[in-house]
A and B are shown apart, each in its own frame.
Chain A
Amino acid sequence: MKKTGAQIVVECLLEQGVDTVFGYPGGQIIDVYDALYEYSDRITHILTAHEQGAAHAADGYARSTGKVGVVIATSGPGATNLVTGLATAAMDSIPMVAITGNVSAALLGKDSFQEVDIFGITAPITKYNFIVKDQSELAETLRRAFYIARSGRPGPVLVDILKNAQMGTCEFENAPPRPILPEVDHITEKDLQRAKELIEASRHPFIFAGGGVISANASEELKAFAAKIGAPVSLSMMGLGAYPAEDPHFTGMLGMHGTKVSSMAVAQCDLFIVAGARLSDRVIGKSSEFASHARILHIDIDPAEINKNIRTDGSVVGDLKVTLSRLTQIVEEADRSQWLSQIEKWKRDYPPVRERKGEITPYYLISEVAARLPEDAIICTDVGQHQIWTAQHYPFSLPRTFISSGGLGTMGFGLGAAIGSKVANPKRKVVLFTGDGSFHMNCNELITVTMQKLDITVIVLNNNVLGMVRQWQKLMFDKHYSQTTLNRKTDYVKLAEAYGGTGFVITKKEDVGPTLDKALKTKGAVVVNVAIDKDVNVLPMVPPGKAYNQQLMSIDI
């Protein structure tokens, strides 16, 4: 059947099971928007205030469901506004497909109006990208884009479609999507045996799991594996939710702002098992002293992660769900109760650090919010101190309930991501923890919340400073608070109301509970501005590039 390129785009989205896209129209993508109009009974388009918000929404949609998030934008500035969103998704291995329009072939390369080389710009921040110059290539390209985004180690894919390829017609036949099978080609008996030997020879194994466990839907396999080998478990920030926070053998996060217990465990374990994590600088600190008494077993889907940042003693490359269940089957059960009791003792001896500064502490606020939400509530964050406090103190117990920009650390990510999460999960509660710095970056998306009739509660941890940078300035720059004192005069209640929502202010501890009760029951866009002290630090902290034994439990000022 003959179809236009624009119709083929929408047909291919439907083939892939896409029922919702995020985006913003414009001159060079107008044909695709005409097709979206035609197919509007089968595909919902969420219009945001800015393309960046649409990209983060597609990302939040993907993180909260595991499905591919789709964002559509026009050429030039529309496309460049996706850049931060694509880089955010790339760093955290999130499956996304971005579709951009571009000028016609005849105008390409002539610095035409709203022309930009988005293919060149996004090559380093996508898993793969395409430029489609003729409609005959369109269907296969889009099918490949979805396959690439979701298969193996997921990631964002951009498809830039020239205007002439959207307008032109060609034959089109629907085809079922190519199934995505677990990556098992690289899992070898030899590697599994080596892993088994390492585990069985270990008296004090310690598991560190990351976002790969969530991506592979392998939380249950992780729990079974940890239980079988009797190992305590720590998580990277990206892994939060993959293992229940209340488990007695969960040691919390590991890394720059990880717990004291995790630091002690990594220093004293004899086998460090990394599952679905890439061991970034924020985890390793000083590489020469990291887990120096331990052998290292790395399990990951991406062979390039093995030996990238830390030399390993064994590795298994492949789908984590498969690998973890195979390992659970083949390892001998062993009694490591002494090691586990040691962990439990450390947990009693070294509870999480909670600085008592100001009327309302971040921990009090976060735990009061948590107490009012069901287990499956989706908690989004922006980036900064509030993000780490949420990661440290919110009791995540289910995968895909913590939505946060880990690798890129994108301030302004949160509201878009919350919109995407809510659109994907309309029946679940969605709460965004943000800071006064991050929130100002993309608070324009409040109007999207209102227009789409979404219920999202935004809790602003307002300390009037760019707290994380300020904390570094306190620690390493002689308290030169260069450009980190905000003291902005924004009226958050009026701001919320201006966008058709509702605002609340909390300044006293006794108001926290009652106001949260009201705010969490209020429909639509809800902003709760909570005053916290500007000098509460994120602790513990391993200063950048330092070893774990230099972990700070306080920052004296």
Chain B
Amino acid sequence: MYRRYVLSVLVENRSGVLSRISGLITRRGFNIDSLTVAETENPAISRMTIVLHCDESVVEQMKKQLEKQVDVKEVAELVEHESVTREHVMVKVAATPENRMSVLSVAEIFRANIVDVAAEAMIIELTGESNKTEAFIETVRPFGILQVVRSGITGLERGAKVPGKDRKKEEASF
């Protein structure tokens, strides 16, 4: 079934890992919607969150290709309802003194924050699931969007389960 998949990938925090993993994905012809990467609680390990739209056979192949990478310690799929995903967006909206109040009320409905105000524009930030961030962008679009920056999706599995702790690839001793 063609849908959105979110993969959470634990990788060794080494130079070249990001380009290696993104290169792997693109050269096999898979299209990435978003990819985020940052250090985890263990500075030697980074977490990559990869979002893609594809069918099941493609995501299955991609998981296997990721799993066999030397730098990859764990690949988990973040399944809807069993995980929490968030995205951070900042939107620079054309907000003149005349329509500023309307923009503010939209921001309030979405519980977004105003982080910068200038004469002709304001920057609004919002964190939420991607359907919320997308709805927000669509709602402010009529005011005139000057710029949008999105962090890409990150996420965690719900509950006490910690993927990667129980099935960690054995660190080779040489």
Cβ-based interface call for A304 (8 A): yes
User: Does B67 contact A147, Cβ atoms closer than 8 Å?
Assistant: no
Tell me how far the C-beta of B157 lies from the nearest C-beta in chain A, rounded to whole angstroms.
Answer: 22
Chain A residues with a Cβ closer than 8 Å to the other chain, count? 24
User: Does B70 contact A128, Cβ atoms closer than 8 Å?
Assistant: yes
B61's contact among A143, A147, A304, by CB below 8 Å, is which? Answer: A304
Q: Is the interface of B mostly helix, strand, loop or mixed?
A: helix
User: Does B19 contact A120, Cβ atoms closer than 8 Å?
Assistant: yes
B174's contact among A124, A143, A304, A307, by CB below 8 Å, is which? Answer: A143
Return the chain A residue nearest B70 by Cβ: A128
A303's contact among B23, B64, B70, by CB below 8 Å, is which? Answer: B64
A123's contact among B16, B57, B64, B65, by CB below 8 Å, is which? Answer: B16
Return the chain A residue nearest B68 by Cβ: A304
User: Does B173 contact A123, Cβ atoms closer than 8 Å?
Assistant: no
Q: For A140, A152, A175, A304, which residue has the most chain B Cβ atoms within 10 angstroms?
A: A304
A131's contact among B16, B19, B27, B60, by CB below 8 Å, is which? Answer: B16
Cβ-based interface call for A214 (8 A): no
Which chain B residues border A303 with CB–CB below 8 Å? 64, 67-68
Cβ-based interface call for B109 (8 A): no
Tell me how far the C-beta of B119 lies from the nearest C-beta in chain A, rounded to whole angstroms.
Answer: 42
Q: For B24, B65, B172, B173, which residue has the most chain A Cβ atoms within 10 angstroms?
A: B172
Return the chain A residue nearest B14 by Cβ: A130
Tell me how far the C-beta of B58 lies from the nearest C-beta in chain A, rounded to whole angstroms.
Answer: 11
A140's contact among B20, B64, B67, B174, by CB below 8 Å, is which? Answer: B174
Q: How far is the CA of A129 from the CA of B20 in the complex (A)?
A: 10
Q: How far is the CA of A178 from the CA of B172 in the complex (A)?
A: 9
Return the chain A residue nearest B66 by Cβ: A304
Q: For B20, B27, B67, which residue has the most chain A Cβ atoms within 10 angstroms?
A: B20
Q: How far is the CA of A147 from the CA of B170 in the complex (A)?
A: 14
Cβ-based interface call for A368 (8 A): no
User: Does B70 contact A308, Cβ atoms closer than 8 Å?
Assistant: no
Tell me how far the C-beta of B85 lies from the nearest C-beta in chain A, rounded to whole angstroms.
Answer: 26
B residues 48-71 in Cβ contact with A at 8 Å: 57, 60-61, 64-65, 67-68, 70
A144's contact among B20, B23, B174, by CB below 8 Å, is which? Answer: B174
User: Does B61 contact A307, Cβ atoms closer than 8 Å?
Assistant: yes
Return the chain B residue nearest A119 by Cβ: B16
B19's contact among A123, A128, A144, A311, by CB below 8 Å, is which? Answer: A123
Q: How far is the CA of A37 from the CA of B64 in the complex (A)?
A: 44
Cβ-based interface call for A148 (8 A): yes
B23's contact among A123, A147, A178, by CB below 8 Å, is which? Answer: A123
Cβ-based interface call for B147 (8 A): no
Return the chain B residue nearest A139 by Cβ: B174
Tell me how far the C-beta of B21 lies from the nearest C-beta in chain A, rounded to whole angstroms.
Answer: 10
B residues 132-174 in Cβ contact with A at 8 Å: 172-174
Which chain B residues border A311 with CB–CB below 8 Å? 57
Tell me how far the C-beta of B74 lies from the nearest C-beta in chain A, rounded to whole angstroms.
Answer: 15
Cβ-based interface call for B42 (8 A): no
Q: How far is the CA of A175 from the CA of B64 in the complex (A)?
A: 33
Cβ-based interface call for A302 (8 A): yes
Q: How far is the CA of A306 from the CA of B68 in the complex (A)?
A: 13
Return the chain A residue nearest B16 by Cβ: A119
Return the chain A residue nearest B174 by Cβ: A143
Per-residue B-contact encoding for A284-314, CB less than 8 Å = 1, 0 else: 0000000000000000001110111001000
User: Does A178 contact B19, Cβ atoms closer than 8 Å?
Assistant: no
Cβ-based interface call for B131 (8 A): no
B172's contact among A131, A144, A153, by CB below 8 Å, is which? Answer: A144
Which chain B residues border A119 with CB–CB below 8 Å? 16
Tell me how far the C-beta of A468 lies from the nearest C-beta in chain B, rounded to whole angstroms.
Answer: 26
Cβ-based interface call for B99 (8 A): no
Q: List 18 A-B contacts (CB under 8 A).
A: A119-B16, A124-B24, A128-B70, A131-B16, A147-B172, A147-B174, A153-B68, A175-B174, A178-B174, A302-B68, A303-B64, A303-B68, A304-B61, A304-B64, A306-B64, A307-B57, A307-B60, A311-B57
- Interface residues of B, Cβ cutoff 8 Å to A: 15-16, 19-20, 23-24, 27, 57, 60-61, 64-65, 67-68, 70, 172-174
Extra inter-chain contacts (7) besides given A140-B174, A307-B61, CB under 8 Å: A124-B23, A144-B172, A148-B70, A178-B174, A303-B64, A306-B64, A311-B57
Q: Which 10 A-B pairs have the closest CB atoms?
A: A304-B64, A143-B174, A128-B70, A140-B174, A304-B65, A123-B20, A303-B64, A304-B68, A124-B27, A144-B174
